Amino acid sequence: MTSLAPIRKIYFGIADRHQMFRLFDRHAGRPDRWQDDDGALYAGEWFEIAQAQHDYMLEILPPLCMRGEMFAMREFLTGSITSVFYTLGINGVQRYFHAYCDLFDPRSVHDMRDAIVERERRPVKAMTRDERIEHIWSTTLDDYRGYAGADFRSQHRGKRTVIVYGKPGARFELLESLTDQQVSEKLPVHLRHLPLPEAA
């Protein structure tokens, strides 16, 4: 993966079938869709799924390629970016993951696998601020998230926004600029008190 597309976990927990399909294209509402190469939006994203979702995707179409613990989808999302599904043994448990890899880089599927294993082998559950932000974006309904428009400064237009409640009322704010308190309020209760990795 390039520095433009860092490997990143975008959902905390095991996505069910409905959530999996939402996560496949969580950038669908972006402005000027299809007018630019949006590969960097997707390349490097990954999340966990259940075995049923993994097996369902394997049966949809013959995969582009299969190698041991992974298979890649034949249909590309954009450019050389496609879905790659992994079956990985982590801490003695078989788990399943979806990731977007850039097949132009022959190391991408291996780098992704290594990053997932390294992230999920941590002995204490923790979430970085970036993971919290990505989880919020992934779980917020389309009516409550969007992209900065004319009412934002020009340097922020096109950036992701979410609705925030407070005085004087509800308003859209930049996702990246949420305070720690706002981030906590937007996370599900069971995730709010997880430590940052530095404190784990």
Whole-angstrom Cα distance, residue 120 to residue 141?
Answer: 27
Tokens 């204490």 sit on residue: 124
Q: Which two tokens stand for residue 18?
A: 């409905």
pLDDT of residue 29: 79
Is 51 a residue whose pLDDT tops 50? yes
More confidently predicted of 45 and 31: 45
Whole-angstrom Cα distance, residue 8 to residue 10?
Answer: 6
Three-point CA angle 141, 143, 149, nearest 5°? 120
Tokens 């999340």 sit on residue: 47
Least Cα distance to 161 among 169, 56, 102, 151 occurs for 151
More confidently predicted of 24 and 68: 24
Give the model confidence (pLDDT) of 6-39 as tens digits: 899 999 999 999 999 999 988 887 877 656 667 7
Give the model confidence (pLDDT) of 115-168 as tens digits: 999 999 876 678 899 999 999 999 999 999 999 988 899 989 889 999 998 777
pLDDT of residue 3: 38
Per DSSP, the residues of 122-150 read: -SS----HHHHHHHHHHHS-GGGEEE--T
- Bridge partners (DSSP) of residue 45 are 8
Three-point CA angle 69, 74, 79, nearest 5°? 110
More confidently predicted of 120 and 196: 120
Least Cα distance to 47 among 14, 18, 22, 74 occurs for 14
Q: Is the pTM of this model over 0.75?
A: yes
Name the amino acid, one letter, at 188: P
pLDDT of residue 198: 59
Phi, psi of 73 (to 5 degrees): -75, 145
CA 168 to chain centroid: 32
